[in-house]
Copies of this chain bind each other. A is one copy, B any other.
Amino acid sequence: MSSSESAEAPAVSKKAAKKEAAKAEKLRRRMEEASISISAAAQAAEQENDPLSANYGDAPLSELQSKSEVDFPYTEVGSLAEHLKDQVVLVRGRAQTIRAVGKKMAFLVVRERGFTVQVVVTEQADVVSRQMVKYVAALNRESIIDVEGIVSVPAEPIKGASQKVEIQVRKLYCISRAVPTLPINLEDAARSEAEIQRALEAKEPVVRVNQDTRLNNRVLDMRTPANQGIFRIQSQVGNIFRQFLLSEGFVEIHTPKLIAGSSEGGSAVFKLDYKGQPACLAQSPQLHKQMSICGDFGRVFEIGPVFRAEDSYTHRHLCEFTGLDVEMEIKKHYSEVMDIVDRLFVAMFDSLNEKCKKELEAVGRQYPFEPLKYLRKTLRLTFEEGVQMLKDTGVEIDPLGDLNTESERKLGQLVLEKYGTEFYILHRYPLAVRPFYTMPCYDNPAYSNSFDVFIRGEEIISGAQRVHVPELLAERAQACGIDVNTISSYIDSFRYGAPPHGGFGVGLERVVMLFCGLNNIRKTSLYPRDPLRITP
């Protein structure tokens, strides 16, 4: 069960295996035949008459099947610089743009992991034939190529490439050919709204790639500098989250996503049949992370998928997202949990600003945003204070209800004006708007020991002290309309001595979206799932 592959390896009998081997042999012959396709044949014919034909061409499949190991080291495009002047380098990347200048010269921009270099192919006796220039000029964009050449430093600085040097090509092979017409062009996908507007105003033709087209062709869309930045930032958010918590004595756990019955109840769950038993996908690791606290792990966290079958068609809801969950013993007060939130996120924002400069710039070029404003010590307001601030500006809301999206935004504005921060904690929420496992306040059970955290006027974190007294927990569950029988093993967990505890949950995609001021959660999910989308 360990690996992706082993699941696929069918138990094959001796006979079947031999049959399979024979099939594979046939397959090989067919592949050899197939590789002499029309264009390849034409190319081959052309190359036949070229004494320099060994210097270029499509790499045959067999060369790409681990025939040999690396004998000449590859240089990363991102590390090409002046100190390599006059040296021979070998580079693998994508032909981002291809431009022929007459029949004797062609320019390529080759891209690797977001870095680009200009590559020059010039007819040259004994090295580059005119046929080779023609071959290069006919390459399809986004094809993967191997380029061998000499590094040169041009007199004029190069525009349109990240690296300041050029490669004067000696050999060039196509490793993987892209189809001639791509479903979306990368320049189109990478264009900012401001550029589109400029073009429209100038009445120039311009393509705007809409969200669905992007997502339908995610593999191409992913290659834009902004998307390369977004998902590298996302990787860093997860990394900082974990490193911070591990350094504070938290243990990483993995709780099951397959749950008997109907998870925590309440909102819509994805149901399935589990070996004849009714089951569902976990809406959060809530119950299991609390049980792990009862199991003496003291402080735990989990990063994992969370499933919500809700029919939400907003800019910030997905049916599957990555939850960052924390649960910890508390000694006295839920402020201990808010302290962790405070220090964790300040450390995260600091680190992103410091370590992801290039990525943030890349995102900002396509989707301009202001850096997040946050304080060294995170502002904490009570829900009542928030309601009062809204009231003072004439916005009346139910003091025992929840904030809606509009009032959240409004309060965010007021907080920014008054305290100069776009990141703050609102705590002591009304009990009625929190889940059943939330601990009521000691002095007023209409309120609860809970909090939400906001970035740029949108909620990203919810947290609370939990009820650790089994009788009260059962009573609260029942009051919230949950069948206590379906969560009996959860409630029983608190009967064997349970420490007071609390925790919080964050959506990874939302953190990245709001930190970068993006307008849609689908931009920060690699393969988003919403009520209308389950592919690719």
Cβ contact within 8 Å between B332 and A66 = yes
Beta-carbon contact of A12 and B433 below 8 Å: yes
Contact of A500 among B175, B298, B442, B476 (CB under 8 A): B175
With beta carbons under 8 angstroms apart, the residue of B258, B436, B450 that contacts A529 is B258
Is A441 a contact of B65 with CB atoms below 8 Å?
yes
- List CB contacts (< 8 Å) of A411-456 with chain B: 430-436, 438-443, 445-446, 449-450, 452
Would you call A291 and B219 a contact (CB within 8 A)? yes
Q: Which of A4, A17, A312, A526 has the most CB of B within 10 A?
A: A4
Could you tell me which residues of chain A, from 281 to 314, have a CB within 8 Å of some CB in chain B? 281, 283-286, 288, 291-292, 294-298, 303-310, 312
In the complex, A270→B259 CA distance in Å? 13
A451 to chain B, nearest CB (A): 9
A1 CA / B508 CA spacing, docked (Å): 10
Please tell me if the beta carbons of B253 and A64 are within 8 angstroms of each other in the complex: no
The verdict on A472 contacting chain B, using a C-beta distance below 8 Å, is yes
Residues of chain B lying within 8 A (CB to CB) of residue A304: 304-305
CB of A25 closer than 8 Å to a CB of B? yes
Q: How far, in angstroms, from A26 to B528 measured CA to CA in the complex?
A: 44
* CB <8 Å contact, A17 and B401: yes
CB nearest to A487 among chain B residues: B536
Question: Does A361 sit within 8 A of B, measured CB to CB?
Answer: no
CB contact between A222 and one of B176, B296, B323, B402 (< 8 Å): that residue = B296
Contact partner of A303 (CB less than 8 A), chosen from B303, B495, B504, is: B303
Decide yes or no whether A523 CB sits under 8 A from chain B. Answer: no
**Complex Cα–Cα for A31 and B476 (A):** 11
- Alpha-carbon distance between A504 and B2 when the two chains are bound, in angstroms: 10
Asked if A4 and B323 make an inter-chain contact with CB atoms under 8 angstroms apart, the answer reads yes
Contact check, B92 vs A2: say whether CB atoms are below 8 A apart.
no
Among B4, B220, B400, contact of A21 (Cβ-Cβ < 8 Å): B400
Query: In the complex, what's the smallest C-beta–C-beta distance from A107 to chain B, in angstroms?
Result: 19
* B-contacting 9-mer, from A39-47, A49-57, A205-213, A463-471: A463-471
Interface flags for A64-81 (1: CB within 8 Å of B; 0: not) read 111111100010000000
Interface of A is mostly: mixed
> Chain A, 29-40, contact with B by CB distance < 8 Å: what is the 0/1 string?
011001000000
The answer to whether A16 has its CB under 8 Å from any CB of chain B is yes
Give the shortest distance, in Å, between A494 (CB) and chain B (any CB): 8
B66→A295 contact, CB < 8 A: no
Q: Does A497 contact B (CB under 8 A)?
A: yes
- Nearest CB to that of A303 among chain B residues? B303
Chain B residue, CB-CB nearest to A438: B5
Q: Taking A66-B332, A272-B271, A445-B28 as contacts, is the C-beta distance between A10 and B534 under 8 angstroms?
A: no
The verdict on A18 contacting chain B, using a C-beta distance below 8 Å, is yes
Q: Given the complex, which residues of B lie within 8 Å of A535, measured CB to CB?
A: 260, 489
Asked if A203 is at the interface of the complex by the 8 Å CB criterion, the answer is no
Residues A6 and B258 in contact in the complex (CB < 8 Å), given A291-B218, A332-B69, A432-B21: no
Q: How far is the CA of A175 from the CA of B28 in the complex (A)?
A: 71
Q: Which A337-370 residues sit within 8 Å CB-CB of chain B?
A: none
Across the interface, do B65 and A16 meet the contact criterion of CB distance under 8 Å? no
Q: Is there contact, CB below 8 Å, between A70 and B398?
A: no
A319 to chain B: closest residue by CB: B258
Contact B430 A21 (CB under 8 A): yes
* Residues B254 and A232 in contact, CB atoms below 8 Å apart: no
User: Of B221, B259, B272, B496, which is within 8 A of A179 by CB?
Assistant: B496
Docked CA distance A438–B220 (Å): 23
In the assembly, what is the distance between CA of A461 and CA of B2, in Å? 6
The reply on A11 being an interface residue by CB < 8 A is: yes
Instruction: Tell me, yes or no, whether A460 is within 8 Å of chain B by CB.
Output: yes
Interface residue A152 (Cβ < 8 Å from any Cβ of B): no
Across the interface, which residues of B come within 8 angstroms of A294, CB to CB?
219
Please give 8 more A-B residue pairs, beta carbons under 8 A apart, in addition to A3-B462, A114-B296.
Answer: A66-B333, A70-B333, A94-B497, A239-B246, A256-B305, A272-B281, A305-B305, A493-B536
What would 13 A/B residue contacts be, using CB atoms closer than 8 Å? A2-B459, A17-B400, A17-B432, A18-B432, A21-B430, A27-B440, A66-B333, A175-B500, A182-B496, A221-B295, A260-B534, A275-B309, A304-B305
State the 7 A-B residue pairs at the shortest beta-carbon distance, nearest first: A8-B435, A222-B295, A4-B284, A2-B507, A20-B432, A5-B462, A3-B505
